[in-house]
Amino acid sequence: MLSANEIGIDLGTANILVYSKNKGIVLNEPSIVAIDINTQKVIAFGRDAKEMVGKTPANIRVIRPLKNGVIADYDITTELLKIIMKKAAQLTGLTVRKPNVVICTPSAATSVDKRAIQDAARNAGAKQVILIDEPVAAAIGSGLPIDEPVANMIVDIGGGSTEVAIISFGGVVACQSITVGGDRLDEEIIQYIRKQYNVLVGERTAEQVKMEIGYALVDHRELEMDVRGRDLVTGLPKTITLSSYEIRDTLKESLLHILEAIRATLEECPAELSGDIVDRGVILTGGGSLLNGMEEWLSKEIFVPVQLAENPLESVALGTGDSLRLMKRLQQSIR
């Protein structure tokens, strides 16, 4: 496990989570910051900044400094990490000024992306920065025995990307990373409502629609939801009623991209490990895995048991906590 002066950070596109050995998950905030354009200072982050989306004056910009799990705005990410580490120190009672930090990175992250994350964390006050592949952390956090020579398949559907990986003996045997996640699903709902009803809705409304009446499964009991937005013709507020059937059809294309990534990963899997996946099944994690009917739909499509992780939203952060212990054990066994 992490020692007392170490923290684990899940630097996600949608949410940032911080794990501490003594306290568990100490911080879970949306990866959103509000900045003053004139001073370039961060004036709010997390839930406070999310409340400001679509409601700010011209001098305040609400942005996501992370895109697809990697840094899109270096300076703002560094500032954000400083705030997070300061807050984590207060919440955990850390007395060490410069803690060691374990951070997850997408499996598709380039060496430049990884260096940017390391530099940002060091500039934010970290003493040592250890990077771990996100699918490996998700598998550890889901309780999979990744240090054993058996196949463990994990599908991590995050905000900005979906990571599909087969892990055996502590390493990634086959993986696929695609830029389809919860954010893409929200965007498709926004575009559909705009095209079909001539009504503009915001990100938060689209996310609410996805969570309440979004379905992966074709056969389900139809649900309806009233949604308010701005009529693009008159400019006036308007209320429309959406059906879960139309939202299901809207999300279909993105879900098929995720399915294709899973199939491609299974095709890459060595024959010796394929039998393990049939026996052990696939573990779903990440916020996107909570879409209604996701487990059942995937199981029908790939003919393999699919199971939701115990804490899908926290799996990656929890995995950072146990990663160092497992890595040390693996290094000893390899010797």
Place of tokens 């996701």: 294
Q: What's residue 326's pLDDT?
A: 67
151, two tokens: 């196949």
pLDDT score, position 4? 55
User: pLDDT value at position 95?
Assistant: 57
Average pLDDT across each block of 10 residues of the chain; the chain has 335 residues. List them in order: 71 87 85 89 89 86 83 86 84 70 84 89 88 89 86 92 89 90 95 96 93 93 95 95 96 96 92 88 94 95 93 90 66 41
Can you give the pLDDT at residue 23?
81
For residues 72 and 89, give the distance between their C-alpha atoms in angstroms, rounded to a whole number: 26
User: Angle at which helices 111-123 and 74-92 pack, to 10 degrees?
Assistant: 50
Angstrom CA distances, 207 to 31, 39, 212, 259, 327, stand at 15, 31, 9, 21, 37
Which pTM value belongs to this model? Answer: 0.87
Rounded to 5, what percent of the chain is helix, strand, coil? Answer: 40, 30, 30
Distance, CA of 17 to CA of 217 (rounded, Å): 30
CB-CB neighbours of 86 under 10 Å? 13
Q: Judging by DSSP bridges, how do beta strands 60-63 and 33-36 pair with one another?
A: antiparallel
Query: C-alpha dihedral over 3, 5, 6, 9, to 10 degrees?
Result: 140
pLDDT at 195: 96
Domains of the chain: 6-137+316-334 (3.30.420.40), 145-180+255-309 (3.30.420.40), 182-250 (3.90.640.10)
What is the pLDDT, as a whole number, of residue 2?
52
Distance (Å, whole) CA 44 – CA 131:
27
